Structure 1
Amino acid sequence: MIGILLITHGTLGESLIQCACHVVNRRPARLAQLGVAAQDDPHELLQEAQRLLTVVDDGHGVLVLTDIFGATPSNIAMKLLQPGKVEGVAGVNVPMLLRVLTYREKHDIDTVVHKAITGGCDGVLHIKGSI
């Protein structure tokens, strides 16, 4: 199973996990989050992120999901990347997380990265109401 580590601003990661728990009616295994606050030391956060990688990795790799590319959470995530073992995707949202949770048990990490991106994009829609 591909492990999932969310690295996000504040409590966004835990909120996304809680949304996913609501949908799947349980807390998924091998899923962790690291929240980044303005006063946090990025070096200390990197050490914690490295520890969390070991918690969620069962040997099949880890997908790190982060919110905004170029911000502190994604900069920490970039330092964790190891092609084919630890991959990263920015722009995390609920549809992306749900897609990853759906596909991570029976697919390799490259497929799960692709599903994360398509799930995140496909979940963004213009809602048109009727009068």
Structure 2
Amino acid sequence: MIGIVVSGHIHFASGMQSAMQAIAGEQKQMVFIDFTETLSTDQLEILLRQAVAEVDSGDGVLFLTDIPGGSPANRALNIIMDTPKTELLSGVNLPMITNAAFEREECSLSELVEALLEIGAFSLQDMRKQFEAALQAEHETGNKNGL
């Protein structure tokens, strides 16, 4: 199973952990690391490296971080540069993290990365446009359904 390390600024990781566990339950080989004000970037990298060792069962490790170019992403990038079978996605959201938990047993590390990129792009939606399109479709079909 692919190991997952989620990290981000302040309480991003622990917040995502709480939400993800409400949806997917407790997960093995998944670690959440907050980059709080009390940590230096060197300390963060040490924690990230320890997390890789903890979650890696041989199928690889995927880092999921909050902000591209932020300290968690930059320090994870240091790790993937010298650690085989590691990948990094940055700018992740809850649908991506939850789907990573569900899909990581059934695919390779590269397949999981591709699937999560698709989920990330799909999960960002303009809900006003979605609603207006639904209203327009109902109007065109003559199906009012109380609207």
TM-score under structure 2 length normalisation: 0.82
Find the aligned partners of 2:98 and 2:88 in 1 and give their Cα distance. Answer: 16
Q: For residue 35 of structure 2, what is the amino acid of its counterpart? A: V
Q: For residue 51 of structure 2, what is the amino acid of its counterpart? A: L
In the alignment, is the contact (CA less than 8 A) between 1:66 and 1:91 conserved in 2? yes
Aligned to 1:87: 87
In the alignment, is the contact (CA less than 8 A) between 1:7 and 1:33 conserved in 2? yes
Find the aligned partners of 2:16 and 2:49 in 1 and give their Cα distance. Answer: 21
In the alignment, is the contact (CA less than 8 A) between 1:84 and 1:109 conserved in 2? no
Find the aligned partners of 1:99 and 1:118 in 2 and give their Cα distance. Answer: 11
Find the aligned partners of 1:72 and 1:31 in 2 and give their Cα distance. Answer: 20
Q: For residue 45 of structure 1, what is the amino acid of its counterpart? A: L
Find the aligned partners of 2:39 and 2:55 in 1 and give their Cα distance. Answer: 23
Find the aligned partners of 1:17 and 1:116 in 2 and give their Cα distance. Answer: 17
Deviation of 1:32 after TM superposition, in Å, equals 0.4
Aligned to 2:127: 127
Unaligned runs of at least 5 residues, structure 1: none
Aligned to 1:64: 63
Unaligned runs of at least 5 residues, structure 2: 136-146
Structural RMSD (CA): 1.6
Find the aligned partners of 1:37 and 1:101 in 2 and give their Cα distance. Answer: 24
- Report which of the two structures shows the higher radius of gyration computed on alpha carbons: 2
Figure out how many residues of one structure are paired with residues of the other and give that number: 130
1:39-95, Cα deviation, whole Å (9 max, x unpaired): 421111111110111111111100000011111111111011157601000011011
Any idea what SS the aligned residue of 1:79 has?
helix
Any idea what SS the aligned residue of 1:81 has?
helix
In the alignment, is the contact (CA less than 8 A) between 2:44 and 2:72 conserved in 1? no
In the alignment, is the contact (CA less than 8 A) between 1:84 and 1:110 conserved in 2? no
Structure with the bigger percentage of helix: 2
Tell me whether 1:52 sits opposite 2:60 in the alignment: no
% same residue: 24
Any idea what SS the aligned residue of 1:44 has?
helix
| Aligned counterparts, 1:1-131, within 5 A | 1-24=1-24, 26-82=25-81, 85-128=85-128, 129=131
Find the aligned partners of 2:27 and 2:122 in 1 and give their Cα distance. Answer: 22
Any idea what SS the aligned residue of 1:35 has?
strand
